[in-house]
Amino acid sequence: MVTNKVFNYGKKFKLESGKSLSEIQLYYTTYGKLNADKSNVIWICHAFSGNSDFTEWWGGLFGERKLYDPEKYFVVCVNMLGGCYGSTGPLSENPETKKPYFHDFPLLTNKDLVNSYKLVRDHLKIGRIHTVIGCSMGGQQAVEWAVDEPGLFDHLVAIGANAKHSPWAIAFNETQRMAIAADQTWKAYKDNAGMEGMKAARAIGLLSYRNYVCYEAKQHEITDEIYDDFKASSYQNYQGIKMQKRFNAFSYWIISKAMDSQNVGRGRGSLEKALKRIKAKSLFLGIDNDILFPTVEQKFLAKNVHGAVYEEIDSYYGHDGFLLEFEKLTVAINNFYANSLATKKSA
């Protein structure tokens, strides 16, 4: 049974920037039952605009008789700070001013988000985690957490992730923020500030989540006679409107900045030194047509994490393959667990 819960932390939550939030609320979802020795925990770090209810967007992996069956595992996912799905974010009330934060919400980093997850783990009295699994920005957080607390995880599964956000990916995010900033309403202190800009930002972002091949397959015209109102045009508008209905421009801005912050080498000497800290048996999954988190980034992770495995799945969906290629992901992760178990027995 999927259960949604709220954890309130009434103390000051310090951020990597030196700023702090006077208190925070974290919305989280659990699924399944914790076993007696608490060895069956699967911790999900969700992607950029996701929420804590992973059965809504990752239902192909979680459910009865699926990869992560609730009869076998206890699954936890926390909605990241800065979002708009229950955890403290820019539209939340600032306890000090009794007004929404809006533009005054402090910048977050992936380290901050991981530190907030630790609070929920302590609250649930979970001492060890079978697997931390994350996709995209969630994969970034999973890597950061495995570096920060090397002895906590038995397994790490990161899909379409990286150790450091690339200039290419940061440029995509900055271009999306430019679209938000170009909206004349953006500077207002209102819930709906920048929403038309965010519509354009989402359309820009979608180009990096998919690719040429995907658009050619899904959005091509069946006639040579059309000269306006193309399928690709309506699709971009449709995706932007969908985002307007479920998100806000403030969260879009804050979370994209947090994604840009990814650099596990910060404060640890170098990327290579940081990744050598990871003790979890690690699987890094790349998607062959991913132009946002190209496979060279997952190969770098696997090269620098001791004993890590790199697997690649083919998907013309590009980066969004992590949301759609459930059968391929299931096979790759099951093989990883099987090989990990075989290695453990032989040792």
Catalytic residues: 136, 290, 319
Asked if 134 and 140 count as a contact pair (C-beta separation under 8 A), the reply is yes
Closest CA to 240 of 283, 201, 213, 182: 201
Closest CA to 176 of 194, 207, 202, 137: 202
Dihedral over alpha carbons 152, 158, 163, 164 (to 10 degrees): -130
* 272 Cβ neighbours under 8 A, 6+ residues apart: 265, 304
Closest CA to 253 of 62, 106, 34: 106
Closest CA to 185 of 176, 196, 175: 196
Exposed/middle/buried for residue 65 (C-beta within 10 Å: 0-12, 13-18, 19+): exposed
Asked if 305 and 278 count as a contact pair (C-beta separation under 8 A), the reply is yes
Tokens encoding 342: 């075989």
Tokens encoding 312: 């690649």
Asked if 301 and 162 count as a contact pair (C-beta separation under 8 A), the reply is yes
* 256 Cβ neighbours under 8 A, 6+ residues apart: 48, 173, 176, 177
Closest CA to 11 of 20, 19, 272: 20
Contacts by residues 4-7 (CB-CB < 8 Å, ≥ 24 positions apart): 4/28, 4/29, 4/52, 4/53, 4/86, 5/29, 5/30, 6/86, 7/119, 7/120, 7/123
State how far the Cα of 249 lies from the Cα of 312, in Å rounded to an integer: 34
